[in-house]
Amino acid sequence: MILGGTGFLGPHLVQAALEKGHNLTLFNRGKSGPNLFPDLETLKGDRAGKLEVLQGRKWDVVIDTSAFFAVHVKNSAELLAPNADHYIFVSSVAVYKDLSKPDVDENSPVYRMDDEEFSSYSPFQAYGASKHACEMAAEAAFPGKTTSIRSDTIVGPGDHAHFRYPYWTRRATQGGEILAPGKPSDPVQYIDVRDLAQWIIYCAENSVYGTYTATSVPGYNMELMIEDCQVAADTASSLVWVDSAFLRAQEVVDIPFWVPSRENASGAGLLSVEKARQHGLRERPKLQTAIDVLEWYLELPPKKQNFVVGISPEREAQLLQAWNSRQS
């Protein structure tokens, strides 16, 4: 049973499970993609309080893709615990407290709701603490039978909400000089939504319990990522590497996958994924992701090809002009 199932990760989970011949039930509010899976049993409710339709039902595995608050996980997990054998919760690498060094893994310090400094946490830090609280709530209800998957940035076809990775594939299609932030060697990690979905189903099938960081193997970087997008776009373009300090001075705050300051985040993009790989996680070639994301994006209606992150073409042109003038 999937709590959610109609967002970004959900449909890929459904597809991966159906390909393996599993029987599925979805539980959601029926507001997002209500007609996506007409042949599947869908129970309507709200994890914020309307859980009655889950009572008395039995499932082998519960997959929770949609929780941000520990109380919601607590309520659903406690209700389902007597009638299910395994609870899989999709968490986030935002739980990790210290990215000042590489090789952060599942044993590294995490943000907690009960930390003394919690009241001063940024929204991102508070989000990490909340996700960790969700992990603990799931484990409390399913002791020893919980899988907490700390996912990194999820990319792939179907990302209607954030468009972080499509920013680069679209930009590559436009050609010309591309503003590349930071250094070519700046590390980058993400996980293809299809790889994550397939691995979650693998964990369900093989009773993989515990906590895992789910992302790509370290060794990829900003230059390789943008170059993969250039190859996928097959359009003439060149990269202009612009110093992070210059971008910060220009008050640039959001270029996808760019870390504005690595002074205390030298471990960003270098998370250890060894534990997950030992338990079945695999990833497809990065170029294939770029090709597939661009194909999906170009098939969207024009009015849906909107972006909520990144810099506009006009802003990029201004920054490039300022940078080039400074360099000359």
Per-residue pLDDT of the chain (328 residues; tens, 9 = 90+): 999 877 899 999 999 999 999 999 999 887 776 778 888 999 998 888 889 999 889 999 999 998 899 999 999 999 999 999 999 999 999 999 999 999 999 999 999 999 999 999 999 999 999 999 999 999 999 999 999 999 999 999 998 766 899 999 999 999 999 999 999 999 999 999 999 999 999 999 999 999 999 999 999 999 999 999 999 999 999 999 999 999 999 999 889 999 998 888 999 999 999 999 999 999 999 999 999 999 999 999 888 887 668 999 999 999 999 999 988 7
Dist. CA 22–CA 225, nearest whole Å: 35
Contacts of 226 (CB under 8 A, 6+ apart): 168, 172, 178, 180, 239
Contact status, residue 257 vs residue 224, Cβ threshold 8 Å = no
> Which structural domains are found in the chain, ordered by start?
2-151 (3.40.50.720), 164-189+217-269+285-321 (3.90.25.10)
β-pairing verdict for 41-44 and 191-192: unpaired
Dist. CA 88–CA 66, nearest whole Å: 11
Rounded to two decimals, the pTM is 0.95
